[in-house]
A and B are shown apart, each in its own frame.
Chain A
Amino acid sequence: MKAHRLTRAADLAALAIVAVIALQLPTVLSSFHLGLAMEILIFGLGAMSLDLLASTGLVSLGHAAFFGGAAYTIGILMNTYHLDFPLTAGAAVLAATALGALFGLLAVRTSGVYFLMVTLALAQVVWGLAYRQSSITGGDNGLSGISRPMLGSISLVTQRHYYYFVLGVVAVSALLLYRIVHSPFGLTLKGIRDSESRMKALGYNTWLHKYVVYVLAAAFAGVAGALYAYYNSFINPDTVTLAQSATFVLMVILGGVGTLWGALIGAGIIDLLRNQLGLYTDRWPTVMGAVFVLVVLFARDGLLGSMPRAVAWIGRNARRRT
């Protein structure tokens, strides 16, 4: 109990530090790096929503469908119907949620590797639509000309303004996700992950729990996707590929499944490696691969998930030496 309260305090302190740093970033970073910071926050939110699902024991290889689905909704509504910001963004999140509600009906019936395959297949349907319905989606060439919105009278066109907007939305979403994970509902989800049959025996409607969490994850991925569409001003099928879905899974694994914040760290590492390493070496995919191998070998619970063990290990060794 006491230990728990201690970690709570540590978490809060860390949160405060991060908040201060995050608010100061626009003053230190160039516009490009501020863009990267936004991308990390956005992908981080996408990965966190997947972590919500993964911590229920449901590993999805189709999360990009919701992320990209929302982004496409914005592109289509803006390009074809010229709708306003709150309406488009709302429609985008709604579209992702509806997609989740639809896919959930099919996917949640399965579990384990079958869940993986079904989600993969469903996401490929979205990719196929994006790729082939070129009169609406622009096909491979994608949709461009998505301009950043006005928030009331405040223009979000500049990197700085849009960064604060992204930061705000991601922070609120992250807090909501945190609340969900630590609510009785979240505890039930943990129970389902550990032993679904026992939860069933206890009288829980596990299907409904899994379905709801699937739809919730889709909704949050939709929020991230909507932010991404405005950030990138461009959307094409590369955003809804299997590779993108797999990247979300990697972000979660790298950070540590079930740690929530870990997904954000995972997103940060992957995005930085992908965008910065290329400047120094042509072999950046190799370095990225090595990082994954090392994490799987030495930090099996992910970077954040392995933190307690690492701290314990250091403590043990320090004591031995003295």
Chain B
Amino acid sequence: LVGVLVLAALVLASCGETKPADTGVAGKPIKIGFFAPGSGNFAAPGQDMKDGFNLGLDKYGRTVSGHNIEVIFEDTAGDANTALNKARNLVEVQKVDILVGPLTAAEGYAVRDYLAGQGTPTLFPIVSADDITQRKPTKNIIRTGWTSSQPAHPFAEYAAKTLGYKRMMTFGMDYAFGWEWVGGFTQTARDNGITIVKRVWTPIGTPDFSAYLSQIPSNIDGVFALYAGADAVRFMKQYKEFGYKGRVNLIGGGTLTDQSALRSMGPEALDTIAAYHYSDGLDTPANKQFVTDYLAKYNKIPSYYSENTFTTARWIVQALKAVNGNATDRDKFLKALRGVSFTDAPRGPVKLDKYDNPVQNIYVNQVKMIDGRLRNVPISTYKDVSQFWTYKPETYLQQPVYTRDFPQCC
């Protein structure tokens, strides 16, 4: 009686596990495990990840040297423990050759130790937690996306030198992602003579920003805000409703105006300046083609989630070609992955630094209305920016990771 059901189900589940392998072309199929949120709070950006990845495989090929590429999608629900279980399943049961995912930093940290122990070649297209490629690197996790503070460093220089700001206030989401963005911005802002007069942290999912917005002092040159998803949409709206728009300059971290949030915004977002490693309005043939293809297939302007996984798909295909589709020799394949670089990704040139994080352009974007859609148009470009900006990696790594208390402020 007791638990027999459960145990039986468990045994059954383990038996019904192995799916028949795709046999279209000769050669052992290459299995990619793709784990990202498909339900829960992060379902929408998770869908962008999946869409971008599929588009990338469609474009760059689902067969390499006679080996079919087979993708197994798993839903992490945006939950760290679930993500870890899904990774275990993909590695131990599905025996995937390559892993791609997840989305949140918490999910990333949850799977990091496990994957480091397993040695499965893994690509992190979205997880941007600084330390994954800084103070806690692994030999088999390669970042094809970005680190949180990477766009923040040049952007603060831009705020000081081009926008001429001297006194600023920062708003940030109160968790590691927000701390790293705002921390990076604060550090370089200081280097460039900007005084941060006030810093505010707001909880994720803040419904009403009035208590925070009313703290904006009168004698500042600009506000820096780091928000993502629904928080970005609400913040932008309330910033206008409080009458700050047009009166106090608003600049932000890239997620503030990324398409993942911008799709839900209205005219209140116009003219906002934000920096990111991707610009959906970038005027290069590669990006225009990508946007056109994405729009045609999904009827959406791609977000950075879409671009990063699109480029990750190409990354994998290129590395597989270099090893003739043999991903089973992990050391060789990891070496091939590290050797990949592009001059014409939609986001621009991309290559890895020796800490496995991309060196890439950072765009200062401004929101414009084009053909009835809000778009990010680059107004300035910082070329080939590394996660360490102009700091020496060795000295940079001596300082602690950015937190809500570091660098200190006000």
Please report A residues at the B interface, Cβ cutoff 8 Å: 10-11, 14-15, 17-18, 21-22, 25, 28-33, 35-37, 39-40, 131-132, 134-135, 138-142, 144-145, 232-234, 236-239, 261, 264-265, 267-269, 272, 274-276, 278-279, 282, 284-285, 303-304, 307
- The residue from A11, A145, A239 contacting B1, defined by CB atoms under 8 A apart: A11
- Cα A233 to Cα B92 with chains together (Å): 17
Closest 8 CB pairs of A and B: A268-B6, A32-B92, A14-B1, A261-B2, A140-B175, A33-B14, A278-B75, A141-B109
When each residue 1-43 of chain B gets 1 if its CB lies under 8 Å from chain A and 0 otherwise, what string results?
1111111011101100100000000000000000000110000
Residue of B nearest to A281 (CB): B75
User: Number of B interface residues, CB 8 Å?
Assistant: 44
Kindly list 5 other residue pairs between chains A and B, CB separation below 8 angstroms, not including A25-B10, A40-B6: A32-B91, A140-B106, A141-B105, A261-B2, A304-B2
B86 contacts partner chain A, Cβ-Cβ < 8 Å: yes
Q: Which residues of B lie under 8 Å from residue A233 when comparing CB positions?
A: 113-114
* B2:A15 contact, CB within 8 angstroms: yes
* B84:A29 contact, CB within 8 angstroms: no
Residue of B nearest to A15 (CB): B2
Pairs A–B under 8 Å by Cβ, sample size 13: A28-B11, A30-B14, A32-B88, A140-B176, A264-B3, A265-B2, A265-B5, A268-B9, A272-B6, A274-B82, A276-B13, A278-B74, A304-B1
- A304 CB to closest chain B CB, in angstroms? 8
- The residue from B2, B38, B93, B176 contacting A14, defined by CB atoms under 8 A apart: B2
* B93:A234 contact, CB within 8 angstroms: no
Residue of B nearest to A146 (CB): B113
Given contacts A140-B105, A275-B89, contact A134 B6 (CB under 8 A): no
Given contacts A141-B105, A282-B75, contact A37 B10 (CB under 8 A): yes
* A307:B110 contact, CB within 8 angstroms: no
Residue of A nearest to B404 (CB): A134
Q: Which residues of A lie under 8 Å from residue B103 when comparing CB positions?
A: none
Q: Which residues of B lie under 8 Å from residue A15 when comparing CB positions?
A: 2
B112 contacts partner chain A, Cβ-Cβ < 8 Å: yes
Q: Which residues of A lie under 8 Å from residue B79 when comparing CB positions?
A: 238
B129 contacts partner chain A, Cβ-Cβ < 8 Å: yes
Q: Which residues of A lie under 8 Å from residue B176 when comparing CB positions?
A: 134, 139-141
B403 contacts partner chain A, Cβ-Cβ < 8 Å: yes
* A14:B109 contact, CB within 8 angstroms: no
- The residue from B3, B75, B109, B404 contacting A268, defined by CB atoms under 8 A apart: B3
Q: Which residues of A lie under 8 Å from residue B17 when comparing CB positions?
A: 279
Q: Which residues of A lie under 8 Å from residue B75 when comparing CB positions?
A: 278, 282, 284
Please report B residues at the A interface, Cβ cutoff 8 Å: 1-7, 9-11, 13-14, 17, 38-39, 72, 74-75, 79-82, 84-86, 88-89, 91-93, 105-106, 109-110, 112-114, 129, 174-177, 403-404
Q: Which residues of A lie under 8 Å from residue B82 when comparing CB positions?
A: 274-275
* B85:A18 contact, CB within 8 angstroms: no
* B109:A272 contact, CB within 8 angstroms: no
* B6:A141 contact, CB within 8 angstroms: no
Residue in A36, A141, A274, A304 whose Cβ sees the most chain B Cβ within 10 Å: A141
* A236:B89 contact, CB within 8 angstroms: no
Q: Which residues of B lie under 8 Å from residue A21 when comparing CB positions?
A: 4, 7
* A144:B110 contact, CB within 8 angstroms: yes
- Cα A189 to Cα B112 with chains together (Å): 45
Residue of A nearest to B92 (CB): A32
Given contacts A30-B92, A239-B81, contact A264 B1 (CB under 8 A): no
Residue of B nearest to A131 (CB): B175
* B13:A272 contact, CB within 8 angstroms: yes
- Cα A279 to Cα B112 with chains together (Å): 22
Residue of A nearest to B403 (CB): A134
Q: Which residues of B lie under 8 Å from residue A232 when comparing CB positions?
A: 81, 84
* B3:A265 contact, CB within 8 angstroms: yes
Q: Which residues of A lie under 8 Å from residue B175 when comparing CB positions?
A: 131, 139-140
Residue in B4, B6, B39, B175 whose Cβ sees the most chain A Cβ within 10 Å: B6
Q: Which residues of A lie under 8 Å from residue B3 when comparing CB positions?
A: 18, 22, 261, 264-265, 268
Residue of B nearest to A128 (CB): B203
Q: Which residues of B lie under 8 Å from residue A139 when comparing CB positions?
A: 175-176
Residue of A nearest to B88 (CB): A32
- B300 CB to closest chain A CB, in angstroms? 18
Q: Which residues of A lie under 8 Å from residue B72 when comparing CB positions?
A: 279
* B13:A285 contact, CB within 8 angstroms: no
Q: Which residues of B lie under 8 Å from residue A36 when comparing CB positions?
A: 10, 85
- A3 CB to closest chain B CB, in angstroms? 16
* A238:B106 contact, CB within 8 angstroms: yes
* B6:A31 contact, CB within 8 angstroms: no
Q: Which residues of B lie under 8 Å from residue A261 when comparing CB positions?
A: 1-3
Residue in B17, B88, B106 whose Cβ sees the most chain A Cβ within 10 Å: B106
- The residue from B7, B39, B80 contacting A236, defined by CB atoms under 8 A apart: B80
* A35:B88 contact, CB within 8 angstroms: yes
- Cα A303 to Cα B1 with chains together (Å): 11
Residue of B nearest to A261 (CB): B2
- B364 CB to closest chain A CB, in angstroms? 28
